[in-house]
Amino acid sequence: MRGPHNLWRLVQTGATLERTGAMGPVLEAFQAPPRIRLLVRLLAKPFGFLGLRGDTSLPPVPRALTALGPAFIKFGQIMSTRPDVVGDELAMQLRFLQDKLPPFPLAEAKRTIEVELGEPWDALFSEISEPIAAASIAQVHKARLATNGEEVAIKVLRPGIERAFRKDIDAFYLAARTVEILSPASRRLHPTDVIRHFEGVVMGELDMRVETAACAEFAANTGGDAGFAVPTTDYVHSARRVMTMEWIEGVPLGDIAALDAAGHDREALGDRVLQLFLSHALRDGFFHADMHQGNMKVAADGTIVALDFGIMGRIDEYTRRVYAEILYGFIRKDYRRVAEVHFEAGYVPPDRDIDEFAQALRSVGEPIFGMDATRISMGRLLSYLFEVTERFGMETRTELILLQRTMVVVEGVARSLNPHINIWQVARPVVESYIAESIGPRAFARDLMLTARVLARFGPRLPVLAQEALQRQSQPREVEVQMGSIHPILWFAAGAVTTLGSAWLISLL
């Protein structure tokens, strides 16, 4: 479906923003320069009549995004957590996109359940409610199992959602390629790779079997986390387009009035949301990557309940250590070390000046330390960060997109609960704990043991590999070639054994 015909979708997008009256608020929210605003309006205005009309009962921006479809709704959900970027009024309007979208009929949901589970719905469930929450991809019904009367939540994909997402993603590919052609400077941001990453995330979200497995894995990882819960999954009543899980009562995290009425400590909740995310990302390398208010509840005892596991992030151990060192450096105001970590990880080209980069990082970090969160303009901060990345030739790292995006969302959620939150102060104990466990002598010994375990798998083959290497050496060659011919595994094994022996001796001393 990719091709020039997707140009119509891009034209329709601009026309819809113009027709619904959303163009002005969007440009204003992102503080677009006057010349850009004028150019966009001049290009979009003549095509306004081609735009989608949308639901006239909604404010302009939610009206435009819901009319444009699920991919645009996802973007709106992210922005709904950032009143510091888009303003309080627009952020409140965008909350509508989290779980209050127009639902599809109950009869359609029942048909999907029957097709996916292979039985009449009333043979599986004694009752199914009307939709209680509807988002961009699926909607949720409260139900009761026919076997034991247990209350459950059933999540059902929207009809035709796969095709709708594919249409938007194809248009995004065209836009990304167009940007790369017209603006060579943008190529460092890898627009096409970003869209490809987004496509992979979304396609995974459209298979409920993957989400069911993710929910189970997340529950296993976080079972010991105080004040946090994940619903248990029901594999028997789940399939590609249907997911069934435990029903848990609670107050939506975005309903500030209800949280206050229930007597919950919002400051403590804000701290916990941020610390839980960091703990899951650093400790487990597997985190909830869609943590907006619509995907979390607060139980009567104050426990935060996570919902919707369609988008989960995963980062390897090395990336976790890099991320933790960067956060820890900022917390300690050690900008030189933060700069070194960026260079060591390859995030900044090696031909750039490390001292200049450290100075640029200081100019980012110093103004926000000790300052009340209400006085920080995240819009200006993000704009300046973009300037820094451009100045030092930093490229987009697709493996970090979900982590960075989720950090932005989680910070926004924490701010909505406690506008005066100091994110560095709250993050410090989690980051310090991870640093103590993962960077130091104990972590070094653990890494060596893991290396030895991997080498042990080659144990039965080591004699054969040694013999082959010696046979190759016996042939007349240059010394350099002979040394290079020894199998890499043998060199690695020898080095590892030597290092393990040294570590053992050190431990004895």
Distances (CA, A) of 104 to 107, 142, 163, 308: 9, 15, 16, 18
- Decide: 159 and 148 in contact? Cβ < 8 Å: no
Q: Which residues does residue 229 pair with via DSSP β-bridges, in sequence order?
A: 305
Report helix, strand or coil for 109. helix
Q: Which two tokens stand for residue 221?
A: 């990882």
Rg (CA), the chain: 26
Nearest residue to 288 via CA among 421, 134, 406, 192: 406
Q: Are 411 and 274 in contact (CB under 8 A)?
A: yes
Q: Identify the active-site residue in 84, 99, 271, 290.
A: 290
Contact 416, 86 (CB under 8 A): no
Question: Residue 291: exposed, middle, or buried by beta-carbon count in 10 A (0-12, 13-18, 19+)?
Answer: buried
- Report the distance separating Cα 29 and Cα 187, nearest Å: 25
How far apart are the C-alpha atoms of 304 and 270, rounded to whole Å? 10
What CA–CA distances, in Å, run from 106 to 159, 237, 441? 12, 17, 58
316 is catalytic: no
Query: For 210-219, which contacts have Cβ atoms below 8 Å and span 24 or more sequence positions?
Result: 211/155, 211/243, 211/309, 211/310, 212/238, 212/243, 212/245, 214/309, 214/310, 214/312, 215/243, 215/245, 215/309, 217/286, 218/280, 218/286, 218/288, 218/306, 218/309, 218/312
Helix/strand/coil for 234: strand
Q: Give the whole-angstrom CA distance, residue 387 versus residue 503.
A: 45
Q: Report the catalytic residues.
A: 290
